[in-house]
Amino acid sequence: MEFKKFGSDRPKRDFAPREMFKGNWKCSDCGAEITELPFEPSGDRPLYCRDCHSKRRDQRFSR
Ligand SMILES: [Zn+2]
């Protein structure tokens, strides 16, 4: 009997830790300190802390 392995050559992608950018920013909304960002901040865009970020997202998707 022979068993073929499916997708054995594919790298697993379960919960790969996201790259975090460390630094010192301030939330454009509430002024909270931001020390980590899941993306590279571009200087001309407002940054939001996690709370404000999710808040804004909620507003957007409200219904
Ligand atoms: Zn904030």
How many beta carbons lie within 10 A of that of residue 50, not counting itself? 13
For 45-54, what is the mean pLDDT? 91
pLDDT band at 45 (very low <50, low <70, confident <90, very high): confident
Segment 15-43, tens digit of pLDDT: 667 788 999 999 999 999 999 988 888 87
How many beta carbons lie within 10 A of that of residue 5, not counting itself? 6
pTM of the complete model: 0.58
**25 near 37, Cβ under 8 Å?**
yes
Instruction: State the Cα–Cα distance between residues 30 and 33, nearest whole angstrom.
Output: 9
| CA of residue 15 to ligand 1 center, whole Å | 26
| CA of residue 32 to ligand 1 center, whole Å | 5
For 1-5, what is the mean pLDDT? 68
| CA of residue 54 to ligand 1 center, whole Å | 9
Read off the DSSP letter of residue 1: -
Residue 37 makes CB contacts below 8 A (sequence gap 6+) with 20, 21, 23, 25, 47
Q: Given a cut of 70, is residue 47 above it in pLDDT?
A: yes
